[in-house]
Structures are given as C-alpha cells and as structure tokens.
A and B are shown apart, each in its own frame.
Chain A
C-alpha cells in the first residue's frame, strides 16, 4: 500500500530536549516536505526536499533541521524544542521534485507534538 508514515503520532516533551520526528514513504517519490498546522494559520511549510541531499527552507524553518540521506526518509529534527513549536506536524511527498502541475501530494497521518 502506498503510504507516508510518520512517527511518533503523539508526543509530549519538555523544553530543550532534542527530538526527531521520522517520515518515510514507499512510493519512490522525489519530493518530500514538512508542514506545521496551527489554528487559524492553516498549513505552513517548514522545509522541503527536491531529492536526496537537496533540501531548502520553507516559510517557517526557524528551530527545525532536516536531512535527506535516502530517498524514502525525511526526518524532522527539533534540536531544542520550545513551547511555540507545539503543533500538528505533517510530512508529505509527491512523485516529482521538479515543477509538474498534476503531481498528487500524499500526506502522512500527522504528528501531534506538545512541548511543555
């Protein structure tokens, strides 16, 4: 089954404790990205990756890191989480990194993160 898998789905952590949210897709997609969703703000892009070893900042990258060492994995790293990073996080992927209008975007199930 084609899917994007995120872990953990739910996490409560403390300020400053490094954490990683993993994302894996089994569709051989070039493009992967991370979003955060906050009430009234919709989904905002944190980072995206066009292919292995190629990443770039989205609209809200501060406080986050990513890496893309393998095509299927795109982990999101919070080096020193703060309460303002409490949010619902989505990983997404699509087949092409290059522009292609009909490229369907597949989402993971979301990760609810609370930083206290």
Chain B
C-alpha cells in the first residue's frame, strides 16, 4: 500500500481563489509528522508547513494551512488567495519511526498546481 497518496496529478485554480491539495497517508504508528513542500520549475524544494500527529490545532503558515483529519488519515494543504507564484509542484511527505527507532520519510507523487490569471 502507498504510504502517501496524492490523487490529483494536476490542478488549476483562478488567481485569488483558494485551493485544496489532497493528501492521505497510511501508518500504524501513533507518532508521525506530515510535511508539505513546494517545488517551482527551478527545481528546489521549499518547506511550507508541518503537522505533528499529536498537534491538536491545524498548522497554519501565512496563506498555507493544513487540514489535518487524523481519523481519516488525511492532511490536505489549503492555499488561500492563490497567486501566480504559487504555480508549482506540491509534495506531501510523512516522517515516522522505522523499526530501528530512526526516522523514515516518504513522499507522495506530487500535485502540479497551475494558477490562472
């Protein structure tokens, strides 16, 4: 089974509108962390937001928020008031402990977001 599933290979959103990028995860651990990264066409990976499994509040960072639904095992990224510069690939990732107590990080396949003027 996929550890991280991003079901939307590509999405369009009108400038200034909000958009939700889906991410579901699969783990049997109680302790884990969820990340979102942005990758513009230049290729670098930009950290956006983090949610810990024990965090009771949804994480927010400026225009980014993470809609964390633990029972559903979903960690959707919400971008409010989209800007042209938000056009990029977005990756969801999960960190969990491996059998040795070290960290194991798994990425989804990504969602390509295009913001339309």
Binding site for B on A (CB under 8 A): 31, 33, 35, 40-45, 48, 50, 56, 88, 90, 92, 94, 96-107, 109-110, 112
Contact = CB atoms under 8 A, between A and B. Distances in A.
A110 B103 contact: no
Interface residues of B, number: 31
26 contacts: A40-B109, A41-B109, A42-B4, A42-B108, A44-B107, A88-B43, A90-B45, A92-B45, A92-B105, A96-B103, A97-B102, A97-B103, A99-B96, A99-B98, A99-B101, A100-B103, A101-B33, A101-B52, A101-B53, A101-B95, A105-B35, A105-B93, A109-B43, A110-B43, A110-B44, A110-B45
**Prevailing SS type, chain A contact patch:** strand
B33 to A, nearest CB: 4
